[in-house]
Each structure stands twice: as structure tokens, then as C-alpha cells.
Structure 1
Amino acid sequence: MPEIERLGEPAGRDGRGRFLKKAAQKFLLCEYPRITEQETGCVLRLARAVLPATGGAAMTAFRCVPIATEIADRFRRTGLDDNGNAIKSVEASGAAGRFPCRHCLRCAASGQTMLLGSYNLPWPRGIYWTPSPIFLHAEACARFASENEVAPIVRLNALVSVRAYDAADQCLYELGHVCSGADVDAPLERALGDARTAFVNIHTARPGCLLSRVERIDG
């Protein structure tokens, strides 16, 4: 398959092409027991780009959904969160991924001022409903609007929890998965590809804070 051969082209520069080529070859040879989670994620990203152009079956289209701009503006304007707590102002520092903005879905640069407050999740309702601590850029930022792209704040997170819910807001436990944000493609595709799934929430696995809701793009 020429698309697979071209994957090796950048290998001399940083090795990523060689890794992806090897992963794709394992799939073509049906070497499933030897396929790692990271390799699965790489091949899924390849398939999103290659299959539509070659007439193959398309992967599940999706979007990562940030919080509403109206909510972000209210946090900034009033200094109060969804539960009446005073918003806390902090300066971003340390390793990448520590201060993820839930509006632009990008992590803060070192030295940027971030706001910390409690956000009431719109979904799921009922038994599984929960508020979540979130960070926001103190200054206005553009709302994330990309399609078929895992949010940067998910990619950069060391450990995320994928949680799928049905139309009745019930958690689909068997579709849940914990992994590195860099390897989230395969469990996310599995959850979105299940007909029972109405939406997916991705949380930080350790503190349990919401990173982003993910929904299918119909049509």
C-alpha cells in the first residue's frame, strides 16, 4: 500500500515515520497480539487521513466540545464560579499540561494567568452528574472548534479516563478506559463506535477533572 510506504519517509529525521510504518504493517499482517495501545492510536490517526481518500470505510467523525463562551465570560466578569465560589487566580508554571483551559482546550504557557473554579457539567444528568474543577485563561481566548482532532489538553495529559454514556445518561462501564492522553485514539474510537454511546466525557484520571466532552458528528 503506497500510503504505508510513505510513512517511512520522515524516519531519518525523528523516527516517527518508522514507528508508524511498523505499526501499520502489524495491522496489515493481522499481528494483533503484538500491537501496542500506542501503535493502535497511530494507525487510527492514519486511517482517518487515508481511508476516505481510498474509498475505505470512514472512521467515526467527532468533535471535542469546550465549555460555552458565555460561561467562560461569566467566570471572568463576575469572579464567581457555577456554585458561588470565588474564582481563584493562579500563574501557570511547571510541566506542560498542568493548566488546561476548558474553553480553547489548550494548555497555558508558563507565566500566563489562569482562573480556577467549579463548573457544573451539563451531561450526564442524574446519578452520574458531578461538578468539576476547571482552569480557564484569565484573558479571552478563542473557543476550540476543530473537528476530528483530539483536544490538545487531552493529548498532553499523562493519564486520562475515557467515560462513555448512553442516551439515558447511564455510564457504559465496559467502554471505560484509562490511558495516556497520547494514546487515547483507540479507546475513544471504541466508545464512539458503539451504537449505545450518546457522548463521551474525558477526565483527568487522577484528580478526575473534566477535560472535554466528545460527541459524534452525524452525517
Structure 2
Amino acid sequence: MTLRYVPMSDDEARRIRKGGPDAYGNAAERQISDGDGVPCRHCLQNVGAGEPYLIFALRPFSSLQPYAETGPVFMHAEECPAHAGEARPPILSSSVSYLLRGYGANERIVYGTGGVVPKEQLEERAAELLARSDVVSVHVRSAKNNCYQCRIELA
């Protein structure tokens, strides 16, 4: 089973960088990275020390419904290439564990799929969830702060 790590879309990244409103209708905040704990949700790499980044609210769902969680995320302020490929992105190696949840085709949590897993077991657990007929994607979130990292799908 081959996994694909899905970042926020190019269109959404471009819109936010051009000053478009975030999921709450606000403009992104611009900050300078200290190089620690600033994972970009577009390239799925960490923003380096001294580099500008944006903080904004992201809702990684296509529809408004009770399970469409929204939360704060970071992204390089300058253009960066979207993560592409099947290799684990760098931002999923910096913590000791991550929260994984399975979602159905209706973008709602599939109950019983959520749990914190050690980073060494991330791919194994994502593959287990995606092998289920009722799970079409897995969201990866910070185990400490619940911040959305990326989505995992079958390649």
C-alpha cells in the first residue's frame, strides 16, 4: 500500500499569500521564524530561522459541517513548492507522536479511528486506517496542540 501526503492546495496557498481571508475571514499574520516548530502546511517542511512565515486559520475540508475543524497553521510567506510524493514530509519527523484520524467520503470522522501514535508507527497506522472501506483519508495533527499537519491518502 502506497501512501500520499497531501498538503494544502496551491490555490489556497496563493490566495492566502496575496492577502485573501483565512477560514475566519482574517488576513494572515506575518512573523519571522526562530527556526523551531514552524511547519509549513504547503511544502511540508519547517520554516527556517530568519525566514518570514504566515499564521492563519485553515479549514482543510471542502464543506461547512460539524466535523470541519478549523485551526491555526503556518506557511512560508514566500512562495514554496507544494509537497509532492510519497516520502514522509519533514514536518512529520519533528515530534515524538502525532494524532491520526480517519475520515469518510463525507469528510466526517469515522468513530474509533482517532488516536495518538509514535512517529515510528505513523505509516503503519495510516495504512491500517486506509485499508478500511469506510475511510478515504487520514488527517495528521499535532499530538500536543491538535494543529492540522496534512492529509494522507492512498497513492
TM-score, reference length from structure 1: 0.64
Could you list the runs of 5+ residues in structure 1 that have no partner in the other structure?
A: 1-59
Offset from partner CA, 1:156-213 (integer Å, 9 cap, x none): 2333100001223332232222023343122112111222211111111222111001
Give identity over the alignment, percent. 28
2:78 corresponding residue in structure 1: 139
1:122 corresponding residue in structure 2: 61
| Post-superposition offset of 1:124 | 7.3
Find the structure with the greater CA-based Rg. 1
The answer to whether the Cα contact below 8 Å between 1:175 and 1:190 also exists between their aligned partners in 2 is no
Higher strand share: 2
SS in 1 for 2:18: helix
How has the CA–CA distance of structure 1 residues 167 and 179 changed in structure 2, closer, same or farther, with 3 Å as cutoff? Answer: same
2:12 corresponding residue in structure 1: 71
1:202 corresponding residue in structure 2: 140
Structure 1 window deviating more from structure 2 (199-208 vs 74-83): it is: 74-83
The answer to whether the Cα contact below 8 Å between 2:35 and 2:48 also exists between their aligned partners in 1 is no
Q: How many Å separate the matches in 2 of 1:172 and 1:124?
A: 17
Offset from partner CA, 1:113-152 (integer Å, 9 cap, x none): 11000112225762211112110101100111112x2222
Higher helix share: 1
The answer to whether the Cα contact below 8 Å between 2:54 and 2:76 also exists between their aligned partners in 1 is yes
Q: How many Å separate the matches in 2 of 1:205 and 1:90?
A: 24
Alignment root-mean-square deviation, CA: 1.9
1:92 aligns with 2:33: yes
How has the CA–CA distance of structure 1 residues 207 and 123 changed in structure 2, closer, same or farther, with 3 Å as cutoff? Answer: farther
Offset from partner CA, 1:16-42 (integer Å, 9 cap, x none): xxxxxxxxxxxxxxxxxxxxxxxxxxx
Q: How many Å separate the matches in 2 of 1:123 and 1:184?
A: 25
| Post-superposition offset of 1:67 | 0.8
Q: How many Å separate the matches in 2 of 1:124 and 1:152?
A: 28
RCO higher in structure (CA 8 A, sep ≥6): 2
Q: How many Å separate the matches in 1 of 2:35 and 2:48?
A: 9
Q: How many Å separate the matches in 2 of 1:153 and 1:134?
A: 12
Moved over 4 A (4+): none
Q: How many Å separate the matches in 2 of 1:180 and 1:107?
A: 20
The answer to whether the Cα contact below 8 Å between 1:87 and 1:116 also exists between their aligned partners in 2 is yes
How has the CA–CA distance of structure 1 residues 117 and 177 changed in structure 2, closer, same or farther, with 3 Å as cutoff? Answer: same
Q: How many Å separate the matches in 2 of 1:67 and 1:122?
A: 10
| Post-superposition offset of 1:109 | 1.4
2:108 corresponding residue in structure 1: 170
1:160 corresponding residue in structure 2: 98
TM-score, reference length from structure 2: 0.88
Could you list the runs of 5+ residues in structure 2 that have no partner in the other structure?
A: none
Write the letter of the residue equivalent to 1:188.
A
